């Protein structure tokens, strides 16, 4: 049954309370079983680790209805793995990866009415996260934690059509060498807010961050990885230890090679070579790929030949193929699609 109170065609990207969310607590060195609840509030100690020293990390993935009306999600095992990596780096206990996938299935199933219909372009966004909950005042990891997972329906990313983005090369840095750029930690976002608001005020859609060690190489934006298409139709993406390993980007690289027969390479990409490329796109769960029309480096405009009105040809092929795989109209590689029994 579809929730009848929602106008599926006019959803944005904002929190909306759904029926159930998953909660599990870590105490005395062990995770409790966990449970589904209707309560969308959290009451915590005033000195909880999450408040004082930002001990928190998160994930993001989506559930969809396929063409044949199954409810599925895309590679949740990689979200479970990445969250485990984030937790280890922040000295938080890992929520077991198999339990993570079970929780995804339980939460989506409990909110099945909120999974948008096939063809609406909308989807059910799933937000797992964890935080330190007991009191700390000296700088040290908490000893108690809460893992939660809620869902909220979100609209199509390209409402009203595709519009290539204008990015700027940021003077701020996102991630330090040997820092936390490769994990999905809230702290990476807190410090990016100044730069993103500033970018918007200056008329840009997003910031492109350079490697902070040498400020020579392209890294990524605040919330998405970058792909380039060369003039001879090769797919390139930056290689760096301080980029968040996007599941969408890793999937697109495989789609490029295995479905489209394109060469796909991960290598360091210099800022001073991107004016040679034909197309550019940002990749992440939210949009799969958003085309980039222009990158501005302190007044110098790098305009991609794909232009400011449409997705580049190869970007579009990548987008259509991965979307087809997710929606069940193109056969998926083994293990990519996780079915939720409704
Ligand atoms: C979440 C995120 C991405 C996108 O990752 P996906 O797994 O594709 O959604 C890219 N960059 C950053 C910094 C992120 O936090």
Q: How far is the CA of 154 from the centre of ligand 1 (A)?
A: 17
The label of the residue with tokens 């005020």 reads 201
Structure tokens at 334: 């083994």
- How many other C-beta atoms lie within 10 A of the C-beta of residue 276? 10
pLDDT at 25: 98
Would residue 274 count as lying in a domain?
A: yes
Which stretch of DSSP H or E encloses residue 265? strand 264-266
CATH of residue 290: 3.20.10.10
State pTM to two decimals. Answer: 0.97
Regarding whether 146 and 12 lie in a shared domain, the answer is yes
Regarding whether 253 and 142 lie in a shared domain, the answer is no
Would residue 302 count as lying in a domain?
A: yes
Going by CA atoms, what residue is nearest to atom 15 of ligand 1? 223
Regarding whether 304 and 277 lie in a shared domain, the answer is yes
pLDDT level of residue 229 (50, 70, 90 thresholds): very high
pLDDT at 70: 95
The beta strands (E) that lie in the chain are given as: 21-27, 30-31, 35-37, 56-58, 61-65, 71-74, 123-132, 145-154, 165-169, 206-208, 225-229, 235-237, 264-266, 279-284, 288-297, 300-303, 337-340
Regarding whether 316 and 194 lie in a shared domain, the answer is yes
CA dist., res. 68 & res. 52, Å (int)? 47
Locate all alpha helices (DSSP H) within the chain, ordered by sequence: 49-53, 76-89, 97-110, 186-190, 193-201, 247-258, 313-327
pLDDT level of residue 168 (50, 70, 90 thresholds): very high
Going by CA atoms, what residue is nearest to atom 14 of ligand 1? 223
Would residue 335 count as lying in a domain?
A: no
Structure tokens at 264: 């796909």
Buried b (16+ CB within 10 A) or exposed e, 129-154: bbbbbbbbeeeeebbbbbbbbbbbbb
Q: How far is the CA of 125 from the centre of ligand 1 (A)?
A: 14
Which residues form the catalytic set? Answer: 184
Regarding whether 194 and 109 lie in a shared domain, the answer is no
CATH of residue 139: 3.30.470.10
User: Of 154, 185, 206, at which residue does a domain stop?
Assistant: 154
pLDDT level of residue 158 (50, 70, 90 thresholds): confident
262 Cβ contact list (under 8 Å, min separation 6): 233, 234, 235, 256, 314
Would residue 109 count as lying in a domain?
A: yes
pLDDT at 161: 80
Would residue 1 count as lying in a domain?
A: no
Regarding whether 182 and 76 lie in a shared domain, the answer is no
Contact 79, 61 (CB under 8 A): yes
Regarding whether 197 and 55 lie in a shared domain, the answer is no
Regarding whether 306 and 181 lie in a shared domain, the answer is yes
Q: Is residue 342 predicted with pLDDT exceeding 80?
A: no
Regarding whether 219 and 147 lie in a shared domain, the answer is no
Give tens-digit pLDDT for 235-291. 999 999 999 999 999 999 999 999 999 999 999 999 999 999 999 999 999 999 999
Regarding whether 219 and 114 lie in a shared domain, the answer is no
Q: How far is the CA of 1 from the centre of ligand 1 (A)?
A: 31
Contact 227, 236 (CB under 8 A): yes
How many domains are contained in the chain? 2
Regarding whether 178 and 147 lie in a shared domain, the answer is no
Q: Looking at ligand 1, which atom is closest to the CA of residue 184?
A: 15
For 293, the domain range is 165-325
Q: Is residue 110 predicted with pLDDT exceeding 90?
A: yes
Q: Within 6 Å (CB) of ligand 1, which residues are found?
A: 60, 184, 220, 223-225, 244, 246-249, 283-285
Regarding whether 281 and 133 lie in a shared domain, the answer is no
């Amino acid at each position: 049954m579809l929730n009848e109170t929602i106008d599926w065609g006019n959803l944005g990207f904002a929190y909306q309370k759904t029926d159930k969310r998953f909660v599990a607590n870590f105490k005395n060195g062990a995770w409790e079983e966990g449970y589904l609840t209707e309560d969308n509030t959290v009451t915590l100690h005033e000195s909880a680790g999450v408040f004082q020293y930002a001990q928190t990390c998160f994930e993001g993935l989506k559930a969809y209805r396929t063409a044949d009306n199954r409810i599925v999600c895309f590679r949740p095992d990689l979200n479970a793995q990445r969250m485990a990596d984030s937790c280890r780096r922040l000295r938080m206990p890992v929520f077991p990866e198999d339990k993570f996938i079970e929780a995804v299935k339980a939460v989506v199933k409990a909110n099945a009415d909120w999974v948008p219909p096939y063809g609406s372009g909308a989807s059910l966004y799933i937000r797992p996260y964890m935080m330190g909950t007991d009191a700390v005042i000296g700088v040290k990891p908490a000893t108690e934690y809460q893992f939660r997972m809620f869902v909220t329906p979100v609209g199509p990313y390209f409402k009203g059509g595709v519009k290539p983005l204008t990015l700027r090369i940021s003077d701020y840095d996102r991630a330090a060498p040997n820092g936390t750029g490769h994990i999905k930690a809230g702290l990476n976002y807190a410090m990016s807010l100044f730069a993103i608001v500033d970018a918007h005020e200056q008329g840009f859609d997003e910031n492109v961050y350079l490697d902070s060690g040498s400020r020579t190489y392209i890294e990524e934006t605040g919330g998405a990885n970058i792909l380039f298409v060369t003039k001879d139709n090769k797919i390139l993406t930056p290689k760096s230890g301080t980029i968040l390993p996007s599941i969408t980007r890793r999937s697109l690289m495989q789609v490029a090679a295995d479905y489209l027969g394109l060469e796909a390479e991960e290598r360091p990409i210099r800022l001073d070579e991107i004016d040679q490329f034909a197309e550019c796109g940002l990749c992440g769960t939210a949009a799969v790929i958003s085309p980039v029309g222009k990158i501005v480096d302190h007044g110098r405009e790098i305009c991609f030949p794909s232009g400011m009105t449409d997705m580049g040809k190869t970007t579009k092929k990548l987008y259509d193929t991965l979307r087809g795989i997710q929606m069940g109209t193109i056969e998926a590689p083994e293990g990519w699609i996780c079915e939720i029994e409704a």
